[in-house]
Amino acid sequence: MAAPTLDAGTAPEQPTPARGPARAALLLRLVVAAGAGALLYASFPPRTVWWLAPIAFALLGAVLRGRRARAGFVLGLVFGLGFLLPLLHWTGGYVGALPWVALSVAEAVFMGAAAAGMARVSLLPAGPLWAAAVWIAGEAVRSRVPFGGFPWGRIGFGQPDSPLLPVASVGGVTLLGFVTVLGGLAIADIARRLSEPGRQRTAVWPALLLVLAIASGPLALLAPVTRTAPDTTTTIAAVQGNVPRLGLDFNSQRRAVLDNHVRVTEQLAADVAAGRQPQPDIVVWPENSSDIDPLQNPDAALEIDQAAAAIKAPILVGAVLVNPDGRTTSNSALVWQPGLGVVERTDKRRVMPFGEYMPWRSFFRLFSSYVDRAGNFVPGQGNGVVDMAGVQVGVAICWEIAFDDLVDDSVEAGATVLAVPSNNATFGLSEMTFQQLAMSRVRAVEHDRSVIVATTSGVSATITPSGTVTASTGQFVPGVLVDRTDLRSTTTLATRLRSVPEWTLTAVGVLAIGAAVFLARRRRPFVAGSTVAGEPHDAAPEAGEDGHG
């Protein structure tokens, strides 16, 4: 709303009150933003309605267009809460609402900041392109800070069933998320232009962006893949032993958890002897399958060795090891060779804050009594690759599968298959395990690798390099998956480029924001203040509406 002009020596005019329409506009935009966030949540696994994600961003793009940065921040925050509160509900299942809500709000702040940038660039020519890059910049930041970042809920991780999935092999989770967001924002721009009289022909430009986004999936199948060795196969068994009970107290019966995995493995050995199952070359147990340190407890070591001897194959054992200082622990994956014990080891390289360790423990203790239940785990080093019977296995322990650099390191170091040993028992019957499974499917395509997911309580799964789940278990039941697994030494563009697409798109987004701010100051040196209710911001009028500017 323009400021009223003043003549010298006269009293200012009293503007006509418009608070009713302004408040209605504010409420409508907030409702649409929250609804868009809820649609984005609904697009994530275990549901397969991936196409809701572009619709969610179409709605977000519609309410952000032409807004000031502060209005964009509020709308993005509401959008983020509509998405994250239901997506992360599992984080509060056994510790109460405060940690769940606090995490959701903290992550939604990053989405609000990204939306503020998207609002600034929305009036630039090819606005959807720059706005999608700004969103990816926001994901890049929240995947790294604070405390190492929280990549959960990246848009690409919600697209394992999308026809755009092959894009992951070109630019990883980042590029897959980018084309998904771009498609949604382009839809909003097309709809807007078609609804404006005399402007329909300008819709060809966002339509071109939409076509490019849609075509990126099939085109990605043509991307070159380097093969450094012939493909081979090996037989891998994933063992899900189950836990005595759900919730935080599952590990109070640590011996029972170990016993379960030994028992299921010995049953597998009996099935192999009877010809009901093929002989596995390697066996994968989940994270925390032996919370009793087998390096310091001979009885635990004896049980594991008996299971390995029975199945006649090395076992990847998820173990909690007490470090020499006696105070800290390591979340480890041990290669247990029958009769020899531990022959290889890799430790979890990215430990989870507020679970495996507690940052600022004395401060957060003021808010929750559960703080002292967090562990004292320390991160490991290395590339996460272990040798199991001659197979180079890249190990991503639980949420490590969400971090680009960790998986990149393993594949670059020669991993021909990826194993994801995980423990989801802490979160009960929740969507968490399906969200993590979706990440594993995207990683399979990104690096052209088979993925074996082994969890204590489900869902365990075998995944092909195309991202297809060939077999899976139920939740909170024992189970075994035996798979003839492809081993590949291929190098995709995504593997070769690593973080280049992410930093490139981040730079593009930041430069676009800078350009929008510069043009706004140059063309409109003075604009009266506006409210969050939705008055246009002080960016320049959009150029290029007729395809020439």
Closest CA to 373 of 457, 474, 537, 247: 247
Phi, then psi, of 287 in degrees rounded to 5: -55, 140
Q: What three-state secondary structure class fits 346?
A: strand
Local structure of residue 243 (DSSP, 8 states): -
- How many whole angstroms separate alpha carbon 479 and alpha carbon 240? 5
135 with 83: CB under 8 angstroms? no
Q: Is 312 one of the annotated active-site residues of the chain?
A: no
- Chain-centre distance of CA 429, in angstroms? 20
Distance CA 89, CA 77 (A): 17
Q: In this structure, what are the phi and psi dihedrals at residue 233, rounded to the nearest 5 degrees?
A: -135, 160
- Is residue 542 part of the annotated active site? The answer reads no
CA distance 56 to 37: 7
Q: Is 398 a catalytic residue?
A: yes
End-to-end CA separation in angstroms for the chain: 26
Length of the chain: 549
Q: Are 129 and 182 in contact (CB under 8 A)?
A: yes
Task: Write out the DSSP string of 513-536.
Answer: HHHHHHHHHHH-S------TTT-B
Listed residue (40, 126, 218) closest to 508, CA to CA: 126
- Rounded Cα distance between 64 and 124, Å, is 13
Phi/psi region, residue 149 (left: phi>0; alpha: psi -120 to 50; beta: rest), is left
Residue 291 sits at the vertex; the CA angle it makes with 379 and 147, to the nearest 5 degrees, is: 25
The catalytically annotated residue of 107, 287, 356, 400 is: 287
Tokens of residue 22, six digits? 């302004």
Active-site hit among 139, 303, 398, 431: 398
**Catalytic-labelled residue, pool 107, 303, 348, 446:** 348
Residue 298 makes CB contacts below 8 A (sequence gap 6+) with none
Angle, CA of 320, 321 and 324, to the nearest 5°:
155
Which residues are designated catalytic?
287, 348, 398
